[in-house]
Structure formats: C-alpha cells, structure tokens
Amino acid sequence: MDQLVAPWRIEWVERDDDPDGCPFCVLPERSDAREANVVAAADRAFVLLNNYPYNPGHAMVIPRAHTGAFTDLDEATLLEHARLKQRTIEALEAALDPDGLNAGLNLGDGAGGSVDDHLHTHVVPRWTGDTNFMPVCADTKVIVEAVDDTYERLHEAFAEQPDTTVADSGAVRIDL
C-alpha cells in the first residue's frame, strides 16, 4: 500500500461540513476570506484557491451566479468573469513565476468536476518538468507548497494590482 503523509490536511478532514448549500455560494459570504480561501473578489465573481490543488497556486475564478450553464451568465457577469481571469493570471505570474498556465471549465457531470452545478474556471500554474517520475511511476502527485503559503503569496500579488483594496473579510477587493 502506498502512503503519503500530509498532516496539514486534517483541518480539511475534520471541518464542519456546511450543509447550507453550494460551497461556491457559501464560501464568499464568510466573514473571514482567508479561512475560506477566497483570495480576491469583485461584484459578480471571486477567486478561490482550490483545496485539492493540481499544482501550487491552483485557483478558481467563480461567478457569484449559481449556475452550471455557461450560457446562463448575463453579459456583465461574463465580462467580469473574463476580466477577473486576466487579473488572476497576472497575480499568479507575479507571485509564482510559472512557465505556463492551464485554464478551463468543467461543464456538466460528465466533464469530471466535483461541483457541476456552479460553474468555475480553473487556472493552474505549470512549470516545465512538473510532471515527473512520481505521477508517472508511482501514481502520486507531490504538491510542493501548502495552500496557506500559496494564499499569502497570491494575496500579496493581487493587493499590488491597480484598483484594489483589502476588504474587511481580508479578501482583496478588485474594482473591474
């Protein structure tokens, strides 16, 4: 049996599940953005660090509108979602200096996402060689930085962008 020790994950395992609905609707409403992993927010969308990252810096840009259908988003939400993706890419590049990025949506149950009724765009930093012998030979992905540390670096990069303030919740407020 393969074992990978990750003691920092116990906080996630022992958390109180929020039975009050969709996590992407509940998380941005929490009073402590840091605890919720909400790094930045605008009026119609926000940026959330993924609790199960593919790589350090794996962020999601999420419209506040609860829908799984991309075609349901109104024009203002589409524009803000796109602009927030741009700002997320800029922040990730400034904070983590990746060699590239993967960005995309999982639309519908068959697309493989774990939350299919509230669309979200994944933005995943990539580095040359980040797929190495571990996933190929050992079927194990090593995440080299804790989500908490990545949050701090990305939060700082968002805060340094123009037209931003830090909200009472702690998230960087972006005026798009």
pLDDT level of residue 108 (50, 70, 90 thresholds): confident
Q: Give the pair of three-digit tokens for residue 54.
A: 């593919």
Q: Which DSSP letter does residue 74 get?
A: -
Q: Tell me: the pLDDT tens digits for 37-57? A: 999 999 999 999 998 888 899
Residue 113 burial (C-beta neighbours within 10 Å; 0-12, 13-18, 19+): middle
pLDDT level of residue 114 (50, 70, 90 thresholds): confident
Rg value, the chain, Cα: 16
* Choice between 92 and 15, residue whose per-residue pLDDT is larger: 92
Q: What is the pLDDT of residue 1?
A: 55
Q: Give the pair of three-digit tokens for residue 159.
A: 């805060």
Q: What is the pLDDT of residue 79?
A: 97
Q: Which of 81, 118, 120, 122 is catalytic?
A: 120
Give the residues across from 126 on adjacent strands.
Answer: 100
Angle at 149 between CA 147 and CA 151, to 5 degrees: 65
Is 66 assigned a catalytic role? no
* Choice between 131 and 155, residue whose per-residue pLDDT is larger: 155
Q: Tell me: the pLDDT tens digits for 152-171? A: 999 999 999 999 999 989 99
pLDDT level of residue 15 (50, 70, 90 thresholds): low
Domains defined for the chain, CATH in brackets: 20-174 (3.30.428.10)
Separation CA 53–CA 91 (nearest Å): 17
Residue 121 CB: number of other CB atoms within 10 A? Answer: 21
Q: What is the SS3 string spanning 98-132?
A: CCEEEEEECCCHHHCCCCCCCCCEEEEEECCCCCC
Over residues 23-44, mean pLDDT = 95
Q: What is the pLDDT of residue 130?
A: 77
Residues of the chain above pLDDT 90, percent: 63
Q: Give the strand order in the sheet containing 172-174.
A: 100-105, 121-126, 59-63, 45-49, 38-41, 172-174, 164-166
Start-to-end CA span in the chain (Å): 49
Q: What is the average pLDDT score of the chain?
A: 87
